[in-house]
Structure 1
């Protein structure tokens, strides 16, 4: 029972994160586009990222809400958070000269160190979600019995 409750909290946190992040980027589309153009990669990728990143975040959120796709959503969450964390680690190691934060909402107020800790937290809960999901699938009995016809 406790593991199911924890699993629900994990899913709710991840779902909220991705919906909030995607929505805040799209609500401030022009600012997000300028920030993406100011990133250390070729500008031709900016338009793809400006639309693709929120779409991917919504997709992951959508995967998280259905039982059949939950594990895919957890792995997607883990992968995206790992990518963001590697990027932030490179920023912290001064791999790039100047990096504007392209996050939206309250997250854009974070320092890079706070961003790193924030991402590590979501990596940990994504991993915990994967572990709990696999444990629950192994240990939960079906909720229905086969009907035997005489």
Structure 2
């Protein structure tokens, strides 16, 4: 099969759409969960092993960043940067989860929202690694898309 086979192109496009949709759902769910339980989220942030003066910055920037990434994933022109942002954010969450599993902190706070809060830390790790993996797969698939000539 030649590399520009329309079937392969459509299959790649569908997989990219599924990846983007899963990430959009994740980030919108996470941000809305934080805003719906905003006082709890602030309290959780104050219990993190970070200085409390960072709390106001974190409680606003993380949910806003999650929404911006979700919006970026919707549009074709911003999808690749949004996939990279998704990868970086999920890597940061994964590194934090690994630090918790390695007992790097005196206590184990969780600032996740909604049902994600109910995961154990090993489950968090696998959950995060799944989204790291699909973010990376989305980047690879988008980068390997054939470039079509623009018709004049």
Bin for the TM-score computed over the shorter chain = over 0.9
5+ residue gaps, structure 2? 1-9
Write out per-residue CA displacement over residues 17-53 of structure 1, whole angstroms, 9 at most, x where no aligned residue: 0000000001000000111001111100011111111
How far off is 1:62 after superposition? 1.2
Aligned with residue 75 of structure 2, among 55, 60, 66: 66
Aligned residue-pair number:
143
Moved over 2 A (4+): none
Matching residue of 2:143: 134
How far off is 1:145 after superposition? 3.0
Q: TM-score, normalised by structure 2?
A: 0.91
Matching residue of 2:49: 40
Matching residue of 1:145: 151
Distance in 2 separating the partners of 1:32 and 1:67: 32
Write out per-residue CA displacement over residues 90-135 of structure 1, whole angstroms, 9 at most, x where no aligned residue: 0000000102110001000000000000000000000000011111
Pairing of 1:35-114 with structure 2 (within 5 A)? 35-114=44-123
Distance in 1 separating the partners of 2:69 and 2:86: 6
How far off is 1:61 after superposition? 0.7
Q: TM-score, normalised by structure 1?
A: 0.92
How far off is 1:140 after superposition? 4.5
Aligned CA RMSD, in angstroms, stands at 1.0
Distance in 2 separating the partners of 1:135 and 1:60: 21
Aligned with residue 4 of structure 1, among 2, 9, 13: 13
Matching residue of 1:27: 36
